[in-house]
Structure 1
Protein backbone atom coordinates (compact mmCIF):
# COMPACT_ATOMS: atom_id res chain seq x y z
CA UNK A 1 0.00 0.00 0.00
CA UNK A 2 1.05 3.45 -0.69
CA UNK A 3 0.94 6.07 2.04
CA UNK A 4 0.21 9.02 -0.17
CA UNK A 5 -3.53 8.51 -0.77
CA UNK A 6 -4.07 7.90 2.94
CA UNK A 7 -2.16 11.03 3.82
CA UNK A 8 -4.11 13.14 1.36
CA UNK A 9 -7.38 11.74 2.68
CA UNK A 10 -6.42 12.42 6.30
CA UNK A 11 -5.35 15.97 5.47
CA UNK A 12 -8.62 16.66 3.61
CA UNK A 13 -10.70 15.34 6.51
CA UNK A 14 -8.82 17.41 9.05
CA UNK A 15 -9.25 20.59 6.98
CA UNK A 16 -12.96 19.99 6.57
CA UNK A 17 -13.36 19.26 10.29
CA UNK A 18 -11.61 22.52 11.16
CA UNK A 19 -13.79 24.54 8.77
CA UNK A 20 -16.99 22.89 10.09
CA UNK A 21 -16.02 23.64 13.69
CA UNK A 22 -15.27 27.26 12.74
CA UNK A 23 -18.69 27.60 11.12
CA UNK A 24 -20.38 26.11 14.19
CA UNK A 25 -18.57 28.61 16.39
CA UNK A 26 -19.79 31.47 14.21
CA UNK A 27 -23.38 30.26 14.35
CA UNK A 28 -23.34 29.65 18.09
CA UNK A 29 -21.86 33.09 18.85
CA UNK A 30 -25.03 35.21 19.51
CA UNK A 31 -23.15 38.42 20.22
CA UNK A 32 -21.60 38.55 16.77
CA UNK A 33 -24.96 38.29 14.96
CA UNK A 34 -27.27 40.13 17.35
CA UNK A 35 -25.60 43.52 17.21
CA UNK A 36 -25.72 45.21 13.83
CA UNK A 37 -23.04 47.62 12.87
CA UNK A 38 -23.82 51.32 13.47
CA UNK A 39 -23.83 52.11 9.76
CA UNK A 40 -26.21 49.23 9.13
CA UNK A 41 -28.57 50.48 11.85
CA UNK A 42 -28.71 53.94 10.34
CA UNK A 43 -29.27 52.47 6.89
CA UNK A 44 -32.05 50.33 8.30
CA UNK A 45 -33.86 53.29 9.89
CA UNK A 46 -33.36 55.35 6.74
CA UNK A 47 -34.83 52.57 4.61
CA UNK A 48 -37.81 52.22 6.95
CA UNK A 49 -38.49 55.95 6.71
CA UNK A 50 -38.26 55.82 2.91
CA UNK A 51 -40.62 52.85 2.91
CA UNK A 52 -43.17 54.75 4.99
CA UNK A 53 -42.91 57.77 2.67
CA UNK A 54 -43.29 55.57 -0.38
CA UNK A 55 -46.39 53.94 1.10
CA UNK A 56 -47.92 57.37 1.78
CA UNK A 57 -47.17 58.50 -1.78
CA UNK A 58 -48.64 55.27 -3.17
CA UNK A 59 -51.84 55.75 -1.18
CA UNK A 60 -52.12 59.38 -2.31
CA UNK A 61 -51.59 58.39 -5.95
CA UNK A 62 -54.15 55.59 -5.71
CA UNK A 63 -56.70 58.07 -4.28
CA UNK A 64 -55.96 60.49 -7.12
CA UNK A 65 -56.37 57.70 -9.65
CA UNK A 66 -59.70 56.66 -8.17
CA UNK A 67 -60.98 60.24 -8.18
CA UNK A 68 -59.84 60.69 -11.80
CA UNK A 69 -61.59 57.43 -12.77
CA UNK A 70 -64.76 58.55 -10.99
CA UNK A 71 -64.63 61.91 -12.77
CA UNK A 72 -64.14 60.25 -16.17
CA UNK A 73 -67.00 57.84 -15.48
CA UNK A 74 -69.33 60.66 -14.44
CA UNK A 75 -68.51 62.60 -17.64
CA UNK A 76 -69.11 59.48 -19.74
CA UNK A 77 -72.34 58.77 -17.86
CA UNK A 78 -73.58 62.30 -18.60
CA UNK A 79 -72.82 61.86 -22.31
CA UNK A 80 -74.63 58.53 -22.40
CA UNK A 81 -77.69 60.03 -20.70
CA UNK A 82 -77.81 62.88 -23.22
CA UNK A 83 -77.50 60.44 -26.12
CA UNK A 84 -80.21 58.23 -24.62
CA UNK A 85 -82.55 61.22 -24.28
CA UNK A 86 -81.81 62.30 -27.87
CA UNK A 87 -82.54 58.80 -29.18
CA UNK A 88 -85.82 58.66 -27.25
CA UNK A 89 -86.91 61.93 -28.84
CA UNK A 90 -86.00 60.60 -32.30
CA UNK A 91 -88.01 57.45 -31.62
CA UNK A 92 -91.07 59.46 -30.57
CA UNK A 93 -90.80 61.63 -33.69
CA UNK A 94 -90.47 58.59 -35.94
CA UNK A 95 -93.47 56.92 -34.31
CA UNK A 96 -95.61 60.03 -34.64
CA UNK A 97 -94.83 60.41 -38.37
CA UNK A 98 -95.72 56.85 -39.41
CA UNK A 99 -99.37 55.86 -38.96
CA UNK A 100 -99.99 52.85 -36.76
CA UNK A 101 -100.67 49.62 -38.62
CA UNK A 102 -104.20 48.25 -38.45
CA UNK A 103 -103.38 44.66 -39.32
CA UNK A 104 -100.33 42.57 -38.66
CA UNK A 105 -98.57 40.78 -41.51
CA UNK A 106 -100.23 37.47 -40.63
CA UNK A 107 -103.67 39.10 -40.63
CA UNK A 108 -102.94 40.72 -44.00
CA UNK A 109 -102.14 37.32 -45.54
CA UNK A 110 -105.36 35.90 -44.07
CA UNK A 111 -107.42 38.72 -45.60
CA UNK A 112 -105.66 38.29 -48.97
CA UNK A 113 -106.42 34.55 -48.95
CA UNK A 114 -110.07 35.21 -48.13
CA UNK A 115 -110.28 37.74 -50.99
CA UNK A 116 -108.84 35.23 -53.46
CA UNK A 117 -111.35 32.60 -52.29
CA UNK A 118 -114.27 35.05 -52.81
CA UNK A 119 -113.08 35.96 -56.30
CA UNK A 120 -112.77 32.27 -57.20
CA UNK A 121 -116.31 31.61 -55.90
CA UNK A 122 -117.76 34.49 -57.92
CA UNK A 123 -115.93 33.38 -61.07
CA UNK A 124 -117.32 29.88 -60.63
CA UNK A 125 -120.86 31.18 -60.20
CA UNK A 126 -120.70 33.45 -63.22
CA UNK A 127 -119.09 30.78 -65.37
CA UNK A 128 -121.93 28.32 -64.74
CA UNK A 129 -124.48 30.90 -65.80
CA UNK A 130 -126.89 30.51 -62.92
CA UNK A 131 -128.87 27.96 -64.77
CA UNK A 132 -129.83 24.72 -63.39
CA UNK A 133 -129.58 21.91 -65.70
CA UNK A 134 -129.80 18.33 -65.17
CA UNK A 135 -126.54 16.76 -64.65
CA UNK A 136 -125.72 14.14 -67.20
CA UNK A 137 -123.68 11.94 -65.08
CA UNK A 138 -126.46 11.36 -62.58
CA UNK A 139 -128.89 8.70 -63.80
Structure 2
Protein backbone atom coordinates (compact mmCIF):
# COMPACT_ATOMS: atom_id res chain seq x y z
CA UNK A 1 0.00 0.00 0.00
CA UNK A 2 0.99 3.55 -0.52
CA UNK A 3 1.84 5.67 2.55
CA UNK A 4 -0.27 8.61 1.37
CA UNK A 5 -3.70 7.35 2.58
CA UNK A 6 -2.30 6.69 6.05
CA UNK A 7 -1.16 10.28 6.31
CA UNK A 8 -4.57 11.58 5.25
CA UNK A 9 -6.24 9.27 7.77
CA UNK A 10 -3.96 10.46 10.58
CA UNK A 11 -4.65 14.12 9.73
CA UNK A 12 -8.42 13.55 9.68
CA UNK A 13 -8.26 11.79 13.03
CA UNK A 14 -6.27 14.66 14.58
CA UNK A 15 -8.78 17.24 13.32
CA UNK A 16 -11.71 15.27 14.69
CA UNK A 17 -10.07 14.94 18.11
CA UNK A 18 -9.42 18.68 18.27
CA UNK A 19 -13.02 19.50 17.38
CA UNK A 20 -14.28 16.91 19.93
CA UNK A 21 -12.20 18.52 22.71
CA UNK A 22 -13.56 21.96 21.78
CA UNK A 23 -17.17 20.73 21.94
CA UNK A 24 -16.54 19.02 25.28
CA UNK A 25 -15.21 22.26 26.79
CA UNK A 26 -18.24 24.19 25.51
CA UNK A 27 -20.67 21.67 27.01
CA UNK A 28 -18.88 21.68 30.39
CA UNK A 29 -19.01 25.47 30.49
CA UNK A 30 -22.72 25.47 29.71
CA UNK A 31 -23.72 23.65 32.95
CA UNK A 32 -23.57 25.80 36.04
CA UNK A 33 -25.13 24.42 39.23
CA UNK A 34 -25.83 27.95 40.51
CA UNK A 35 -28.15 28.68 37.59
CA UNK A 36 -31.79 27.64 37.94
CA UNK A 37 -32.69 24.45 36.13
CA UNK A 38 -34.64 24.72 32.91
CA UNK A 39 -38.21 23.34 32.98
CA UNK A 40 -37.22 20.09 31.25
CA UNK A 41 -34.49 19.38 33.81
CA UNK A 42 -36.82 20.01 36.76
CA UNK A 43 -39.35 17.65 35.19
CA UNK A 44 -36.59 15.10 34.81
CA UNK A 45 -35.70 15.33 38.50
CA UNK A 46 -39.37 15.04 39.45
CA UNK A 47 -39.83 12.02 37.20
CA UNK A 48 -36.79 10.31 38.72
CA UNK A 49 -38.23 10.82 42.21
CA UNK A 50 -41.57 9.41 41.10
CA UNK A 51 -39.77 6.46 39.53
CA UNK A 52 -37.98 5.72 42.81
CA UNK A 53 -41.29 5.87 44.70
CA UNK A 54 -42.96 3.62 42.16
CA UNK A 55 -40.13 1.09 42.42
CA UNK A 56 -40.50 1.00 46.22
CA UNK A 57 -44.26 0.48 45.89
CA UNK A 58 -43.73 -2.25 43.33
CA UNK A 59 -41.28 -4.10 45.59
CA UNK A 60 -43.70 -3.85 48.52
CA UNK A 61 -46.61 -5.13 46.43
CA UNK A 62 -44.46 -7.97 45.10
CA UNK A 63 -43.61 -9.01 48.66
CA UNK A 64 -47.29 -8.92 49.63
CA UNK A 65 -48.18 -10.99 46.58
CA UNK A 66 -45.56 -13.62 47.43
CA UNK A 67 -46.82 -13.81 51.01
CA UNK A 68 -50.42 -14.26 49.82
CA UNK A 69 -49.33 -16.93 47.33
CA UNK A 70 -47.42 -18.78 50.04
CA UNK A 71 -50.45 -18.78 52.35
CA UNK A 72 -52.74 -19.98 49.57
CA UNK A 73 -50.29 -22.72 48.60
CA UNK A 74 -49.92 -23.92 52.19
CA UNK A 75 -53.70 -24.22 52.53
CA UNK A 76 -53.93 -26.07 49.23
CA UNK A 77 -51.01 -28.33 50.22
CA UNK A 78 -52.82 -29.29 53.45
CA UNK A 79 -55.96 -30.19 51.51
CA UNK A 80 -53.99 -32.29 49.04
CA UNK A 81 -52.25 -34.18 51.85
CA UNK A 82 -55.59 -34.98 53.48
CA UNK A 83 -57.02 -36.17 50.18
CA UNK A 84 -53.89 -38.28 49.56
CA UNK A 85 -54.28 -40.01 52.94
CA UNK A 86 -57.97 -40.63 52.29
CA UNK A 87 -57.20 -42.17 48.89
CA UNK A 88 -54.48 -44.38 50.39
CA UNK A 89 -56.99 -45.72 52.92
CA UNK A 90 -59.52 -46.40 50.16
CA UNK A 91 -56.86 -48.25 48.17
CA UNK A 92 -55.94 -50.46 51.13
CA UNK A 93 -59.61 -51.27 51.76
CA UNK A 94 -60.19 -52.13 48.10
CA UNK A 95 -57.11 -54.36 48.01
CA UNK A 96 -58.13 -56.21 51.15
CA UNK A 97 -61.61 -56.93 49.72
CA UNK A 98 -60.30 -58.19 46.38
CA UNK A 99 -58.90 -61.74 46.37
CA UNK A 100 -55.22 -62.07 45.58
CA UNK A 101 -54.57 -63.05 41.98
CA UNK A 102 -52.52 -66.14 41.32
CA UNK A 103 -51.11 -65.02 37.99
CA UNK A 104 -50.34 -61.60 36.66
CA UNK A 105 -51.71 -60.49 33.32
CA UNK A 106 -48.41 -61.21 31.56
CA UNK A 107 -48.27 -64.70 33.04
CA UNK A 108 -51.87 -65.34 31.97
CA UNK A 109 -50.98 -64.49 28.36
CA UNK A 110 -47.97 -66.82 28.54
CA UNK A 111 -50.13 -69.70 29.80
CA UNK A 112 -52.75 -68.98 27.11
CA UNK A 113 -50.07 -69.09 24.39
CA UNK A 114 -48.74 -72.39 25.75
CA UNK A 115 -52.23 -73.86 25.75
CA UNK A 116 -52.77 -72.82 22.13
CA UNK A 117 -49.44 -74.43 21.15
CA UNK A 118 -50.38 -77.74 22.85
CA UNK A 119 -53.80 -77.78 21.16
CA UNK A 120 -52.16 -77.14 17.76
CA UNK A 121 -49.67 -79.99 18.37
CA UNK A 122 -52.46 -82.41 19.26
CA UNK A 123 -54.50 -81.39 16.20
CA UNK A 124 -51.47 -82.02 14.00
CA UNK A 125 -50.88 -85.47 15.50
CA UNK A 126 -54.52 -86.50 15.15
CA UNK A 127 -54.73 -85.17 11.60
CA UNK A 128 -51.85 -87.42 10.49
CA UNK A 129 -53.57 -90.46 11.95
CA UNK A 130 -50.74 -91.77 14.11
CA UNK A 131 -49.24 -93.59 11.22
CA UNK A 132 -45.74 -93.24 10.09
CA UNK A 133 -45.27 -92.67 6.45
CA UNK A 134 -42.11 -92.73 4.55
CA UNK A 135 -41.68 -89.35 3.01
CA UNK A 136 -39.63 -89.14 -0.09
CA UNK A 137 -38.93 -86.48 -2.53
CA UNK A 138 -40.54 -87.04 -5.86
CA UNK A 139 -38.16 -86.77 -8.74
Q: TM-score, normalised by structure 2?
A: 0.49
